[in-house]
Amino acid sequence: MYRQGDVLIVPIDASAVPAHVAEAPQEPRDGRGRLVLALGEVTGHAHAVVGPGRLVREPGPFGPLLLHLPDGGRVVHEEHAAIPLRKGWYRVVRQREYVPGSVRLVAD
């Protein structure tokens, strides 16, 4: 399990990946060719993955992201040390905070 700021990255077994993910559209890469896990609303910095792979967003307002890295990769951010990831599948979860009457994603 890895944490970088408000992003939690959890390795999962390939058997735990829902079948529909194989045909699901993947999230686009940004202008620098990265898979963005979370974008800083204030700073413009991003928690992003460098390297080959695909990122699929699960349905729902807080649906997790599913990340597949066939050759491994690195999670980078302008204000954090890079995190190397082994090849495989990961669930990416954004930290949430309770606000009376609702829940919202933590803003960077």
pTM exceeds 0.85, yes or no: no
For the record, the structure tokens of 55 come out as 């990122």
Segment 12-20 shows an average pLDDT of 92
Segment 6-13 shows an average pLDDT of 92
- 17: how many CB neighbours lie within 10 A of its CB? 15
Spatial separation of the C-alpha atoms in residues 19 and 89, rounded to whole Å: 13
Do 91 and 17 meet the contact criterion of CB atoms below 8 Å apart? no
Kind of pairing between the strands at 54-57 and 7-12: unpaired
Spatial separation of the C-alpha atoms in residues 101 and 88, rounded to whole Å: 37
